[in-house]
Amino acid sequence: MPQETSYKLFVPEGYKSKLNILETEKAIKAIKDYFETALAKKLRLTRVSAPLFVIPDTGLNDNLSGVERAVTFDIKYQGGVVAEIIHSLAKWKRYALKRYGIESGEGLYTDMNAIRRDEVTDNLHSIYVDQWDWEKVISKGDRTVDYLKAIVSDIYAVLKETESYIKGLYPVLDCYLPEKITFLTSQELEDMYPGVPSSERESLAAKKYGAIFIIGIGGKLKSGEKHDGRAPDYDDWNLNGDILLYNEVLGRAFEISSMGIRVDKESLENQLKEADCEDRKTFMFHKALLNDELPLTVGGGIGQSRLCMFLLEKAHVGEVQASVWPDEMIKECEEKGITLL
């Protein structure tokens, strides 16, 4: 049976990395160390350890858009029980916040590493995912768009600080981020660019403003289409969104974070029904949430390789992380001067 292979590669005209491979490795560490320390201080987060895999029946794994297959394996000396590599820690973090007794206004963050076996690899996507997963306890009164915007503005301020810091270490790098991030709803974006696919709308808006946060992803728009897919059981589709930057190297929108205020009992009920996923109510996580046993939270993931790729002006995510790539892509990158780690 023939092997299925697929990849997409874009090489910017005249591209040449501004840092060599050793400088790149040193800069990656500098960015990660600075950013996570500044983020923890800004959002009042404590670093914790987190699982690489979970048991599927707990319902703790992130189902992403609902079609991605998790990597699974059986555990020999636990009766052959099957575990699966996490996609993200969106649900697990709410349990951790309760277990650790973290109070409102404070939270946690962790290094999240995952394998997403069904990704079509390209300049931005790898089967290996590394991000800072963070979560913060909030009050019922914080479940508003204004509070969401305040959190996004705090994260963006840390992005700006990190950009200035790495530019100071490597003056050859440029600063692209605008002073402030622009907020747009997914419906406003559709109204601005009617008939244009959502990914193209994102790039047009990102180019116009430099940095945008798109609010409200998962539900249907006036056109009857969704801006993008979201699992129904972690973000509130009315109080979530993506941070997108304009990537000057690639000439397109560049997602750096997916985040949002998490579902409460009411929004979980509504979204499970809309997504025809009410069978998930039998899972441990969903039962706890429906019984008001978990705290109200806001949280998200911030891509570590994505951040490094953007700030170091790299054309390919493989220039800032070690992963597995199709042989054809490796060969083409070598020919075009893109050095994969």
Cα separation of 258 and 294, whole Å? 21
- Active site annotation includes 255: yes
- Active site annotation includes 33: no
- Active site annotation includes 230: no
Given the residues 36, 94, 116, 203, select the one marked as catalytic: 116
Cα separation of 184 and 236, whole Å? 17
| Helix 21-43 / helix 145-169 crossing angle, nearest 10 deg | 140
| Triad 233, 42, 105: Cα angle to 5° | 55
- Active site annotation includes 252: no
Given the residues 17, 88, 257, 258, select the one marked as catalytic: 258
- Non-local CB neighbours of 225 within 8 Å, separated by 6+ positions: 198
Given the residues 36, 62, 190, 202, select the one marked as catalytic: 62
| The length of the chain, given as a count of residues | 341
Cα separation of 335 and 341, whole Å? 15
Do the beta carbons of residue 127 and residue 119 sit within 8 Å?
A: yes
3-class SS of residue 319:
helix
298 - beta bridge partners? 136, 261
Given the residues 17, 131, 203, 271, select the one marked as catalytic: 131
Query: What DSSP string describes 28-68?
Result: HHHHHHHHHHHHHHHHTEEE----SEE-GGG--S--TTS-P
Given the residues 111, 228, 248, 255, select the one marked as catalytic: 255
Residues designated catalytic: 62, 116, 131, 242, 255, 258
